[in-house]
Chains A and B, each alone.
Chain A
Amino acid sequence: MEKRILSLLVDNKPGVLSRISGLFSGRGFNIESLCVAETNDPGVSRITLVTEGDDMILEQIQKQLNKLINVIKVIDNKEKPSIYREMLLIKVTAKSTYRAEILRIVDIFRCKAVDVGPEHYTIEVTGDEGKINAILNLLRPMGIKEIARTGTIALARASV
């Protein structure tokens, strides 16, 4: 089983997302995460999704996606070096003993504290999956109240 990040350019029309998610559920494929938003062309949305499977399944997923009438293009991010980002908002318990330590971590990870209260910080982190997981692991002992995490988005690097 291999993880794969696919970027889809699709018609920005009602029902398109459900065609895609329905394809995955109906055929027993797996969606690990999914991000959707309009592109610079308002008629087109970009969907980044993370899926997994063996070679034949990953090939089938891409073919099936291409077969949908509303899917304009399927980009396999494995084919080109790409930049991957996720964003995480994390509300962490911040008792006085840990407040300085938390801010040090925020500093090291080059992220931001975006909300503060007597007992908590809310921190905004962007980065690839590894970085997000690393900060989560570091903050876990302090007590995580809540997290909100986007799926991965990806863009191929342009050749220089």
Chain B
Amino acid sequence: MNTLKEEGVDTIFGYPGGAVLDIYDALSQTDIRHILVRHEQAAVHAADAYARAKSTVGVSLVTSGPGATNTVTGIASAYCDSIPLVVLTGQVPRPLIGNDAFQEVDIVGITRPCTKHNYLVQSPDDIAQTVKEAFYIARSGRPGPVLVDLPKDIINTKVTYKKPKPINIRSYKPTYKPNIKQLKRIVTLLKKSERPMIFAGGGIILSEASNELIKLANTLKIPVTTSLMGLGAFPGDDPLWLGMIGMHGTYRANMSTSACDLMIAVGVRFDDRVTGKTDAFASQANIVHIDIDPTSIRKNINVNVPVVGDCLQTLTGLNEIIQKEDFGNIEKRRLPWLNQIDEWKNDQRLAYDQKGDIIKPQYVIDKLYELTKGDAIITTEVGQNQMWAAQFYHFKRPNRFITSGGLGCMGFGLPAAIGAQVASPNELVIDIAGDGSIQMNIQELATAVQFNLPVKVVILNNEYLGMVRQWQELFYKKNYVWTHMACAPDFVKLAQAYGAKGFRAKKAKDVVPTLKKGLEAKGPVVMDFRVAQEECVYPMVPAGAPITEMLLV
């Protein structure tokens, strides 16, 4: 507990059980806030969103066995998205380990491939040092989740608290400072380039480098796209903003990628949902790749200038060099390139047609964006709801869009909204959900009600697992196998049963009034929008195709 306090922990998301009773007992003697979730998976998602909304390390505490295994999805999601977490799990007493004891599971073995690192604490004297090390590893370098497994006989042994030593791990020294020679190579390429673009990702948000990114883009008039995880790293209303890249990216972002002669990729890992067919990706461009994790570089895409370093330090260094250099009349030089991009913008914008009574899901997000002035913290589930949120809610600042990007795990949005709301009590937090994924962690409505967290859930209810149905429509000849959710609860009544408020809209004219009512209501609210059943997310690049081969509306 002392170590947790020293690491600045003020909130834990958890669920008690036999193996962690001693920790819970001690927890009640501290002023650390505990949020009791209704499922351990939610404890980790909530801690994940808490970490993002507050730019800190999220903490969850669960018991052994099933408590621990329930955290795995949450941990895997945080691992894919590089979110700093410390997950404390109970374990059976040391003499019972390996005996198939009640609620025993080898959680260190299970989570080895989905944590940045994990520990089984072997002695009571090691607890403080191990927990400190776990926080250090979670937040340094490329952040990630760290699990600490605590056998019951270790945590119920009283030891005198010894302040842990400063962390120095000889085998773990992340590189923050970029190689200056590489920065100069980037500047040389920038000078020669007529059609540069920046592709930014979650690394910008994690290293808080958004301002340096904006500075770089504005100084040299370079258009910017981001990955899903990078949304908010660059203002969504800036003239240089291209929109998101990739499978459901904008026409102009994907076309620019293929036409650019220089791509500065920063804090990204070239996920397959971004690149499509890798051979065709940015094939005319010199690629500069800046990332703190050397394994991200040359994993999927071969690059011309690799730079290992922290995004903030690298971009700051780059901006400093650029200031001293002469780039000529940059406005004039960029004109043809920016005009070309404008043409793409006008040719194919994100379009939908709200005609008649049936609600278009995109319309709901559009109106939500207008009503909240683009200022809410948005969490999402996974699927069409997530993509429409990414396309139609234009994020202006980092850490306003909280989504399970890499793992793409359904059931993320509601617990994430809870975590974000705990982190930011005075902000409006909205979970954009589908009728399928909301049901994966809907029990967390009870958590929201118990802790009076006024999260708003917007369900785009099409009675389908919409994204899967979309693939069936486009690639499986409309053979809708098990994607129709033939039975779903009445979400309004369900919200009420949990003690939350529920509203519903069935017609387009009801969308704005329902959103207003829902957003203004106090406490947790569920809004059920019955939307067009067979609406697809466009543009769409079929998996494995070049990203210029977009299916448009």
Q: Which residues of A contact B (CB under 8 A)?
A: 10-11, 15, 18-19, 22-23, 26, 56, 59-60, 63-64, 66-67, 69-73
B:111-170 near A, CB below 8 Å: 112-113, 116-117, 120, 137, 169-170
Is there an interface contact between B172 and A69, defined as CB atoms closer than 8 Å? yes
In angstroms, Cα B118 to Cα A15, docked, is 10
Contacts of B302 in A (CB 8 A): 56
Given known pairs A11-B171, A72-B170, the reply for A18 and B112 (CB within 8 Å) is: yes
Contact with A along B276-301 (1 / 0, CB 8 A): 00000000000000000111001100
Residues of the A chain whose Cβ atoms lie less than 8 Å from the Cβ of B299: 56, 60
Q: Which of A23, A56, A71 contacts B171 (CB 8 A)?
A: A71
Q: How far is the CA of A56 from the CA of B294 in the complex (A)?
A: 13
Task: Point out residues on B near A: beta carbons under 8 Å.
Answer: 108-109, 112-113, 116-117, 120, 137, 169-172, 293-295, 298-299, 302
- Chain B's closest residue to A19 (CB) is B112
Contact partners of A66 in chain B: CB under 8 A:
294
> What are the residues of chain B within 8 A of A64 when measuring CB–CB?
295
Tell whether, in the assembled complex, residue B117 and residue A69 are in contact, meaning their CB atoms are under 8 Å apart.
yes
Of the candidates B108, B113, B171, the one having the most CB atoms from chain A within 10 angstroms of its own CB is: B171
Number of A-B residue pairs at CB separation under 8 A: 38
Whether B293 lies near A67 (C-beta < 8 A) is yes
Q: CA A42 – CA B137 in complex, angstroms?
A: 24
A22 close to B295 (CB less than 8 A): no
Q: Determine the distance from Cα of A15 to Cα of B294 in the docked complex, in whole angstroms.
A: 24
Distance (Å) between the CB of B360 and the closest chain A CB?
42
Q: Tell me which residues across on chain B come within 8 A of A10, comparing CB atoms.
A: 171
Provide the bound-state CA to CA distance between A18 and B118, in Å: 13
Distance A83 CA – B131 CA, assembled complex (angstroms): 42
In Å, the complex CA distance between A70 and B133 comes to 13
Q: Which of B108, B171, B294, B295 lies in contact with A69, CB distance below 8 A?
A: B171
A130 CB to closest chain B CB (Å) equals 33
Chain B residues whose C-beta falls within 8 Å of the C-beta of A67 in the assembled complex? 293-295
- Distance in Å: Cβ of A133 to nearest Cβ of chain B: 34
Q: Which of B108, B113, B170 contacts A15 (CB 8 A)?
A: B108
Q: In the assembly, what is the distance between CA of A26 and CA of B109, in Å?
A: 13
16 more A-B contacts (CB under 8 A) besides A15-B109, A26-B113, A69-B137? Answer: A10-B171, A18-B112, A56-B298, A56-B299, A60-B298, A60-B299, A63-B295, A67-B293, A67-B294, A67-B295, A69-B116, A69-B117, A69-B171, A71-B171, A72-B171, A73-B171
B521 to chain A, nearest CB (A): 47
24 A-B pairs within 8 Å (CB atoms) are namely A11-B171, A15-B108, A15-B109, A15-B112, A15-B120, A18-B109, A18-B112, A22-B112, A56-B299, A59-B298, A60-B295, A60-B298, A60-B299, A63-B295, A67-B294, A67-B295, A69-B116, A69-B117, A69-B137, A69-B171, A70-B171, A72-B170, A72-B171, A73-B171
Residue of B nearest to A65 (CB): B295
| Closest partner residue, chain B, to A55 (CB atom) | B298
Name A60's closest neighbour in chain B (CB-CB).
B299
Docked Cα-Cα span, A19 to B109, in Å, equals 9
User: Which residues from B are CB-within-8-Å of A63?
Assistant: 294-295
**Chain B residue at smallest Cβ distance from A15:** B108
With A60-B295, A67-B295: A22-B113 Cβ-Cβ less than 8 Å = yes
Contacts of A59 in B (CB 8 A): 298
- Considering only CB atoms, which chain A residue lies closest to B116 in the complex? A69
Chain A residues closer than 8 Å to B294, beta-carbon distance: 63, 66-67
